[in-house]
């Protein structure tokens, strides 16, 4: 079993962000911890052993050292955590200090995911990020100094051309910090964000598809040349330091979600919590279940998700009779490969194929639904 804790607090909303966050100058740590305790009591249901715990957000590092420790103490009160569990904390670089990192490590965190996004000060300001370019390297050094041996950096590519961002330079600077993992995401324009409003008013031009593809391929070349394995559309790992928690999502295994907007999955049904922090918190205080909704996945839903999840990572998708009529042209184009594994034929997408993932997933889903 895998556990996700959503910690929604942020100092400021980033220009591209449509996540469920709560902007607070002062984070209500004690209030959040009390509500977290109540929901963990609802969801524990016998407490299966946890293989991974992921503190995401928002900005979980805004809880500080004592807040993160309190959250993980609550988790242990309701669930046994496996001795070799991966425990990840998302952190903004400005929140990382020797004292905070020590407290997180002592609390059981063994993996830090740092939201770097760019090393260009102008880009960080445009994104409404609250850290400086220099904070990124300092945060890595602070984390290393207390013994963190599993660090991930997030970067965003395909930014508006008007920013004149040097993507090649950002990749070089990220690699120079020697992280064990890199997550590389293309910018998405969501309507209900500052970026969405800028785009609607014509103040920002969305990069064309060919530049998105060029920057995706540049990242793939540079990171794989540096020894990273491109194991999922947006993720690269060195020394086999794949994100175990996120990999569980891509394998379609059950997980528990706690906190505002968090989702859970039991293998047949998906449930999600109320999105806004205040609504989630008020429901808990009233002694209720903060669940916002639930859905049972029917056969067609499971088919579509199975195809999509199989194609998006290097675990691949097991071929079925008749798939070749769709897949052969992808192999010929260099967008996919088929390999034998344990007596089965497994379909894998190449980096070029991952850029076209949605099209193949849709075609295979339609084909398989007719069989």
CATH tag, 299-370: 1.10.10
pLDDT at 165: 95
Q: Tell me phi and psi for residue 220, to 5 degrees.
A: -60, -45
Nearest CA to 57 out of 154, 150, 148 is that of: 154
**For 188, what's the count of Cα atoms within 13 Å in the CB-facing half-sphere?**
8
pLDDT of residue 48: 78
pLDDT at 342: 84
Q: Residue 267 has what pLDDT?
A: 87
**Contacts of 223 by beta carbon, 8 Å cutoff, 6+ apart:** 171, 175, 182, 184, 230, 236
Q: Give the number of other Cβ atoms within 10 Å of residue 87's Cβ.
A: 23
Question: Quick one: how far is CA 45 from the chain centroid?
Answer: 26
The whole-number average pLDDT for the span 33-53 is: 89
pLDDT tens-place string over residues 103-125 = 999 999 999 999 999 999 999 99
Cα torsion 42, 46, 47, 48 to 10°: value is: -130
Average pLDDT over residues 201-230: 93
Write down the pLDDT at residue 171.
98
Q: Identify whether the C-beta of residue 21 lies closer than 8 Å to the C-beta of residue 262.
A: no
Summarize pLDDT for 145-172 with one digit per residue, the tens: 999 999 999 999 999 999 999 999 999 9
Residue 43, pLDDT score = 87
- Nearest alpha carbon to residue 115 among 194, 19, 211: 19
Domain ranges of the chain: 2-250, 299-370
- Asked whether residue 47 carries a pLDDT value surpassing 70, the answer given is no
Residue-level pLDDT at 303:
92
Q: Is 94 exposed, middle or buried (0-12, 13-18, 19+ CB in 10 A)?
A: middle
pLDDT digits (tens, 9 = 90+) for 232-271: 999 999 988 999 999 999 998 999 999 999 999 998 999 9
Which one of 3.20.20.70, 3.80.10.10, 3.40.50.300, 3.50.50.60 gives the CATH number of domain 2-250?
Answer: 3.20.20.70
CA 272 to chain centre: 17
Higher pLDDT, 371 or 58: 58
Q: Which residues of 21-32 are buried (b: 16+ CB within 10 A; e: fewer)?
A: bbeeeebebeeb
């Amino acid at each position: 079993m895998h556990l996700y804790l959503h910690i929604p607090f942020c100092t400021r909303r980033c220009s591209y962000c449509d996540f469920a966050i709560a902007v607070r100058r002062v984070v209500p740590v004690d209030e959040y911890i009390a509500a977290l305790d109540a929901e963990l009591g609802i969801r524990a249901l016998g407490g299966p052993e946890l293989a991974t715990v992921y503190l995401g957000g928002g900005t979980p590092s805004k809880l500080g050292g004592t807040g993160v420790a309190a959250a993980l103490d609550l988790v242990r009160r309701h669930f046994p955590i496996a001795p070799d569990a991966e425990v990840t904390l998302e952190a903004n670089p400005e929140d990382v200090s020797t004292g905070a990192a020590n407290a997180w490590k002592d609390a059981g965190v063994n993996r830090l995911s740092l939201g770097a996004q760019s090393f260009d000060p102008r880009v960080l300001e445009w994104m409404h990020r609250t850290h400086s370019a220099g904070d990124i390297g300092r945060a890595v050094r602070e984390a290393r100094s207390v013994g963190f041996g599993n660090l991930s950096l997030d970067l965003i590519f395909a930014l508006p051309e008007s920013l004149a961002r040097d993507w090649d330079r950002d990749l070089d600077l990220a690699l120079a910090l020697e992280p064990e993992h890199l997550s590389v995401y293309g910018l998405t324009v969501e309507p209900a964000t500052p970026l969405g409003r800028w785009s609607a008013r014509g103040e920002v031009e969305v990069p064309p598809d060919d530049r998105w593809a060029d920057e995706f391929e540049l990242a793939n070349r540079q990171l794989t040349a540096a020894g990273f394995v491109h194991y999922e559309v947006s993720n690269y790992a060195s020394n086999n330091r794949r994100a175990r928690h996120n990999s569980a999502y891509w394998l379609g295994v059950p997980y528990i979600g706690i906190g505002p907007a968090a989702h859970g999955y039991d293998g047949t049904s998906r449930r999600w919590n109320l999105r806004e922090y205040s609504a989630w918190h008020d429901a808990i205080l009233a002694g209720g279940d903060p669940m916002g909704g639930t859905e049972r996945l029917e056969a067609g839903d499971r088919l579509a998700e199975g195809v999509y999840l199989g194609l998006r990572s290097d675990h691949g998708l097991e071929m079925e009779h008749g798939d070749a009529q769709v897949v052969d042209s992808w192999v010929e184009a260099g967008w996919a490969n088929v390999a034998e594994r344990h007596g089965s034929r497994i379909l894998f997408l190449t980096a070029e194929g991952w850029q076209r993932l949605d099209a193949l997933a849709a075609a295979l889903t339609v084909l398989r639904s007719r069989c």
